Structure 1
């Protein structure tokens, strides 16, 4: 219930973007009037309980910095809580705020130990996977610390049902603020470095499809499509 109240606060926050210092009330009134000429009323507002999908303009925007005075606000806290909720609901390893419809520079990552049981040990080792506790960064900055590149299959919850091989730097350093507004820094290697680079791309309006080896782009359920005579659905909810 508390999370729903915080989300409502955030939606009110979105309705008054002057708090972020980006526009004047007059320009926002005109923008709203203009949009009403061609858009239908939306009944579902961000932060979403699902992942936005490729084609949504928000995934191609450069996300805005979270102003220092708002980092410890209830609105930002609600965004982070919703991000973690969606991350765990879909059992994935990383999420960026634009993926729940919020164009702000916030990412969350988590690689649980149980994933090891779900993968062949050879795959786990080859991809240099390792456990990563829940890690949240607000206004993160990424620095490459090892320029060697590793190429492995990569997917994205915002490009549901597909994957492709992508080259990523082997080691990076992330710095920024944690969810408490405290300066934080972490060095990541192997698969966890890949997660960080993938999520940072989202903040720049980029997707893995921009970097992929196009010849490896594939539907992750192509075998099931053949087996079930095409009667396969890719869910966007859980």
Structure 2
């Protein structure tokens, strides 16, 4: 039996069939009993798939994600992960999520550029960035090939590098090939901003972030003006 030095001598402990029994007679000992029980009681831990975005520094974002096994592509477990990704995408009103961003190191991406996002940009910006609607798309084990090697540089952010942005060069057009949740092979041709979304999410599956290829001179805090106007009293939320 392990001895714990410094415990009251009146405190008796014994282990029987894996069960722990503690008897005590004083208020002080009862207080210690509570502390002792809390020490051994498993704490509730938030486990992936998360309802939030993992942040830079989390090893999962720097790990090359594993392929979804062929025999699990249509499984309930994979469907649950994909549904959580869609939930997070809509919750944070963003355009793309890769499984590592919710703590799951699997090659799954979700993309959507809904019509309502057009209201967030001026017409010149919308057109200059070649933005267009993209229906909700879930791809498992996607592969990508470049179809137009012309590059464009535009500001880009990431929900896993919250509160910052920088200009990043991306290819004009790409082709994505993958499998949907029904196990059907899908081919998608993307150009402009939607091609950028695809390249960004594919990078996540290989443990890369936009900061690895950004124009470092353009890296900035997206709320720097608010920081100054509010004397630094600004918070960047990681939940919603």
Question: TM-score by structure 1 length?
Answer: 0.82
Matched, 1:76 2:78: yes
Name the counterpart of 1:198.
200
**1:210 and 1:128 mapped to 2: Cα distance?**
23
Tell me which structure has the larger Cα radius of gyration: 2
**Gap change, CA 1:193 and 1:56, over 3 Å in 2:** same
Name the counterpart of 2:30.
none
Name the counterpart of 1:215.
217
Matched, 1:182 2:176: no
Gaps of 5+ in 1: 1-39
Question: 1:42 offset after TM fit, Å?
Answer: 6.3
Question: 1:41 offset after TM fit, Å?
Answer: 5.9
* C-alpha RMSD of matched pairs (Å): 1.0
Name the counterpart of 1:4.
none
Question: 1:214 offset after TM fit, Å?
Answer: 0.2
What is the DSSP-based 3-state SS (H/G/I as helix, E as strand, rest coil) of the residue aligned with 2:231?
coil
Moved over 2 A (4+): none
Equivalent of 2:64 in 62, 65, 73: 62
**Gap change, CA 1:208 and 1:67, over 3 Å in 2:** same
Question: TM-score by structure 2 length?
Answer: 0.82
What is the DSSP-based 3-state SS (H/G/I as helix, E as strand, rest coil) of the residue aligned with 1:114?
helix
Give aligned pairs, total. 199
The Cα offsets for residues 127-165 of structure 1, whole Å up to 9 and x where unpaired, read as 000000001110000000000000000000000000000
What is the DSSP-based 3-state SS (H/G/I as helix, E as strand, rest coil) of the residue aligned with 1:95?
strand
Matched, 1:114 2:116: yes
Equivalent of 2:158 in 143, 156, 159: 156
